[in-house]
Copies of this chain bind each other. A is one copy, B any other.
Amino acid sequence: MDLLELRNEIDKLDDELIPLLLKRMDISRQVAEYKVQNGIPVLNEQRELEILEDVASKCGEQGEVIKTVFSAIMDASRALQHKIIGGGEELRNLISNAKCEKNLTANGEPIACQGVQGAYSGEAAKALFPDSPIDFHKQFEDVFEAVNQNKARFGIIPVENSTAGSVHESYDLIMKYKFFIVGAYDLRVDHCLCAKPGVKFEDIENVYSHTQALSQCNIFLKNFDFTGITFSNTAAAAKFVSESEKNNIAAICSESAAKKYGLKIIRKGIQNVTNNTTRFIVISKELVIDEDAEKISLIFSAPHRTGSLYRVLGRFSMTGLNLTKLESRPVANGRFDYYFYVDILGSVRDEQTLDLLCALSDELPEFSFLGNYYEGK
């Protein structure tokens, strides 16, 4: 056969496959309906595994491959069953009871940030909530505590930098406090090396800043053999340097922090890459979903089985959802078990998306919906 004939053969086969697949999905739908009516649990993992083993045994050396195709076929049925099953009641209630707001605002109430005046998180807060004062706190956890004790409606913390990666501590605290992400802001970050007026570049030995900023500028630090000293925050480091009597120290901070504390900018843009962006999130005790929400953040675990993450991703794909972040994070039990941090573009106001999340919240060993929010830039 030539190429055209072979392609026609494939097209003919596809025309046979499509109605069979649709019919299979329709019967799966009937199975789900029957089960719901008769109070039988819908998910039957044993039956799934039996079908997959049966398929594998019938396909010889193509067993593993056709098995994967069948797992996709069964997941397609599950995608259809979401609505019938209507599971994930807890998540469904949480979302339907969420406050809906247009253009998230704190109504002039203070915003909790970490650091001191001039911190990058303060710049993100000003961009998102121009009418609110900012309350600065020493540690990330203090920001959570301020929100927890209703001293601030929202808090702002960093979650990811385009060069240094995820800020694990922020994720850990969200899980600990069971808070929600109700907004986000991508801030362009340009680090400066700053010192007291009169201090020369060649005098500098020790450089104070936040761990993340030190890591974002590590090539610069290495080149000049500077010692990095961790500080709770870049602006706090600037304040410390401005008040210190030492003449051999500098801070890495923003231009605005340098101005604020009367420091001289010695070098600008000292970070490893020119386009350095930090993503800040708005944390809240109650779930608020902006009318323009476009991003969903999740944390889940998947069963320890070949292809289990693949199958979860297939469900997103079947719902037409795109991932913008996926990260396996070792569970802090020292055994290299994994959670997955996932960001997707989508809205829970879309019924299919909501049904999918509710189904996954029932099916997966661990599943946390962190929020659905708008991301400013």
The residues in A between 301 and 338 inclusive whose CB is less than 8 angstroms from any CB of B are 306-307, 309-310, 313-314, 316-330, 332-336, 338
The answer to whether A306 touches B310 (Cβ under 8 A) is no
Complex: chain B residue closest to A326, CB-CB: B328
The answer to whether B34 touches A62 (Cβ under 8 A) is no
CA distance A165 to B162 in the complex (A): 16
The answer to whether A332 touches B21 (Cβ under 8 A) is no
Complex partner residue of A79 from B3, B65, B165, B317, CB under 8 angstroms? B65
Question: A59-B18, A68-B72, A273-B334 are contacts. A3–B31 as well, Cβ < 8 Å?
Answer: yes
- State whether the Cβ of A175 lies closer than 8 Å to any Cβ in chain B: no
- State whether the Cβ of A243 lies closer than 8 Å to any Cβ in chain B: no
- State whether the Cβ of A160 lies closer than 8 Å to any Cβ in chain B: yes
- Least CB distance from A132 to B in Å reads 27
Interface SS of chain A: helix
The answer to whether B310 touches A314 (Cβ under 8 A) is yes
The answer to whether B59 touches A22 (Cβ under 8 A) is yes
Stretch at the interface among A9-17, A95-103, A191-199: A9-17
The answer to whether A273 touches B22 (Cβ under 8 A) is no
- State whether the Cβ of A24 lies closer than 8 Å to any Cβ in chain B: yes
CA distance A218 to B210 in the complex (A): 13
Complex partner residue of A21 from B66, B71, B318, B320, CB under 8 angstroms? B66
- Least CB distance from A116 to B in Å reads 15
The answer to whether B160 touches A330 (Cβ under 8 A) is yes
Complex: chain B residue closest to A76, CB-CB: B65
The residues in A between 150 and 173 inclusive whose CB is less than 8 angstroms from any CB of B are 160-166, 168-169
The answer to whether A6 touches B27 (Cβ under 8 A) is yes
Most chain B CB within 10 A, of A161, A272, A313, is at A313
The 8 A CB mask of A242-255 against B (1 = contact, 0 = none) is: 00000000000000
- State whether the Cβ of A2 lies closer than 8 Å to any Cβ in chain B: yes
CA distance A231 to B228 in the complex (A): 7
Contacts of A58 in B (CB 8 A): 18
The answer to whether A211 touches B222 (Cβ under 8 A) is no
CA distance A330 to B24 in the complex (A): 40
- State whether the Cβ of A276 lies closer than 8 Å to any Cβ in chain B: yes
- Least CB distance from A6 to B in Å reads 5
Contacts of A169 in B (CB 8 A): 215, 218
Question: A64-B319, A65-B80, A166-B165 are contacts. A17–B18 as well, Cβ < 8 Å?
Answer: no
The answer to whether A68 touches B14 (Cβ under 8 A) is no
The answer to whether A6 touches B30 (Cβ under 8 A) is yes
- Least CB distance from A52 to B in Å reads 10
CA distance A321 to B65 in the complex (A): 12
Contacts of A17 in B (CB 8 A): 17, 20-21, 24, 73
- State whether the Cβ of A25 lies closer than 8 Å to any Cβ in chain B: yes
- State whether the Cβ of A35 lies closer than 8 Å to any Cβ in chain B: yes
Contacts of A332 in B (CB 8 A): 162-163, 272-273
- Least CB distance from A102 to B in Å reads 26
The answer to whether A318 touches B65 (Cβ under 8 A) is yes
CA distance A330 to B272 in the complex (A): 14
The answer to whether A68 touches B59 (Cβ under 8 A) is no
The answer to whether B14 touches A318 (Cβ under 8 A) is no
- Least CB distance from A92 to B in Å reads 21
- State whether the Cβ of A105 lies closer than 8 Å to any Cβ in chain B: no
Complex partner residue of A1 from B6, B30, B329, CB under 8 angstroms? B30
The answer to whether B22 touches A66 (Cβ under 8 A) is yes
Ordered nearest first, which 5 A-B pairs have the shortest CB separation? Answer: A275-B334, A307-B317, A72-B72, A310-B313, A228-B230
5 contacting pairs across A/B (C-beta < 8 A): A10-B51, A17-B20, A229-B229, A274-B334, A323-B328
